[in-house]
Amino acid sequence: MENPYKELKPSTRILMGPGPSNVDPRVLKAMATPLVGHLDPDFLEIMNETMDMLKLLFQTRNLLTIPISGTGSSGMEAAFCNVVEKGDRVLICVNGLFGQRMCDVAERCGAEVITANANWGYIITPEKVKEAIREKPKIVAIVHAETSTGILQPLEEIKQIAKENGALFLVDTVTSLAGAPVKVDDWDIDICYSGTQKCLSCPPGLAPITFSDIAMNVIRNRKSKVQSWYLDMTMIERYWGSERFYHHTAPVSMIYAFHEALRIIHEEGLENRFRRHKMNGLALKSGLESMGLRLIAQDDYRAPMLTTVGIPEGIDDVKVRKRLLNNYYIELGGSLGEFKGKSWRVGLMGHSSTKQNVLFLLSALDNILAEEGYKFERGAGVDAASCFYESFEK
């Protein structure tokens, strides 16, 4: 039969938005491996290796450290719905879109949500948390790297406050994991989730998650069933654990890809990887500032893997991004919520975090902004970034 739908041939892209990032060809190759069954002895071994490598990445010894069969947002939902019961008070730190989303997710789980707030682009201060914690929440939840603003949130003091008040500490590391240190055990994090499509450079579709023993005890002692059957950790742990009890069919090919992405991360080494993300992030920021552009996130707390940059007066957000995409094959992110139309989001995540990408983006922006009539010193961005690399590499 003649097929009106043609084989897919999407354009080649340099993915420098807020995710997905580019994927190493090794990961694509792994994903194309022919399937085995989800209870096959070969697959069980792959699952074990995947859990081991994920523990190293989360820097934890938590037994229940696995990829959930859904995207990063399903990780957020799994984090809340397993520990929240109707009427539980939950303190959520809100300084961007993903903190807001946490409130929505937690409320749907029956939580009574209270918040500690900061303006978009600023960190949450420990003082705000201290104030809110008087209401004795069961959980304190916070986003490590706020993808909507480019802030990397310090966690130490807020963890301290949570722990002193007997609360579970829940952290979203969707954008930070594998691009900056995430030390689940050292930082006493009870529930930590991420996504595969950012600094892990694996296609979107899985949500790595880990639960401390304390969190697992809370889950095991629930009065009511977890409202989501699909994300119920008391059942999922029986499949990933030694029992291998069937729950749902694991997304075999995605786990192949994830296994290879983790192998690549550990070959590079965590410290090297964090250093690379830091270096490229700083080079980009130095280049953008030298072009006279304004960085949006609070100084000293800028995420290495995601940079928010103000769109200059008179420059058309969508037009510039379209030209970047069509002429340079570069995907840049627009902004969301309060920042919509006001800033771009530049991701340098995982496989996309390279010196070449930094210099290419700065050159492309140099050309496009000049043509759009933006006044600045031509070439200053690339020069500044190049200088930065020279001094950093010494």
| Residue numbers 216-245 binding a second copy by CB under 8 A | 225-230
Pattern 98-117, a second copy, x by CB under 8 A = ---x--xx-xxx--------
Q: Which of residues 109-168 bind a second copy (CB under 8 A)?
A: 109
CA–CA separation, 173 vs 155, rounded Å?
11
Asked if residue 281 lies in contact with residue 357, where contact means CB atoms within 8 angstroms, the answer is no
The pair of three-digit structure tokens given for residue 189, joined into one six-digit string: 């994090």
Which of 60, 64, 70, 305 contacts a second copy by CB under 8 A?
70
Q: Which of residues 265-294 bind a second copy (CB under 8 A)?
A: 266-269
Class of residue 126 by CB neighbours under 10 A (exposed 0-12, middle 13-18, buried 19+): middle
Is residue 310 classed as helix, strand or coil in its secondary structure?
Answer: strand
Q: Least distance from C-beta 264 to a second copy, angstroms?
A: 9
CA–CA separation, 375 vs 269, rounded Å?
42
The CA-atom distances, in angstroms, between 350 and each of 59, 65, 192 are: 18, 21, 19
CA–CA separation, 310 vs 289, rounded Å?
10
The answer to whether residue 43 forms part of the interface with a second copy (CB under 8 A) is yes
Q: Least distance from C-beta 12 to a second copy, angstroms?
A: 7
Q: How many CB atoms lie within 10 A of CB 131?
A: 12
Contacts of 334-339 with C-beta under 8 Å, sequence gap 24+, read 335/148, 335/308, 336/97, 336/148, 337/96, 337/97, 337/100, 337/120, 337/148, 338/120, 339/120, 339/121, 339/148, 339/149, 339/296, 339/308
The answer to whether residue 358 forms part of the interface with a second copy (CB under 8 A) is no
The pair of three-digit structure tokens given for residue 112, joined into one six-digit string: 């009574």
Which of 250, 324, 358, 365 contacts a second copy by CB under 8 A?
250
Q: Least distance from C-beta 268 to a second copy, angstroms?
A: 7
Fill in the amino acid letter for 256: Y
Pattern 169-208, a second copy, x by CB under 8 A = --------------------------x-x-----xxx---
The CA-atom distances, in angstroms, between 240 and each of 170, 226, 229, 243, 249 are: 22, 18, 16, 8, 12
Nearer to a second copy, 107 or 317 (CB): 107
Choose the binding region for a second copy from 35-43, 119-127, 290-298, 356-364 (rule: CB under 8 A).
Answer: 35-43
The pair of three-digit structure tokens given for residue 381, joined into one six-digit string: 């961005």
Which of 192, 233, 257, 368 contacts a second copy by CB under 8 A?
257
Q: Which of residues 7-26 bind a second copy (CB under 8 A)?
A: 7-8, 10-13, 15, 17, 19-20, 22-23
Which of 84, 262, 283, 324 contacts a second copy by CB under 8 A?
262
Q: Least distance from C-beta 290 to a second copy, angstroms?
A: 27
Pattern 313-342, a second copy, x by CB under 8 A = ------------x-----x----x------
Choose the binding region for a second copy from 38-46, 132-140, 176-184, 280-288 (rule: CB under 8 A).
Answer: 38-46
Nearer to a second copy, 47 or 358 (CB): 47
With contacts defined by CB under 8 A, how many residues of the chain interact with a second copy?
A: 81
Nearer to a second copy, 37 or 341 (CB): 37
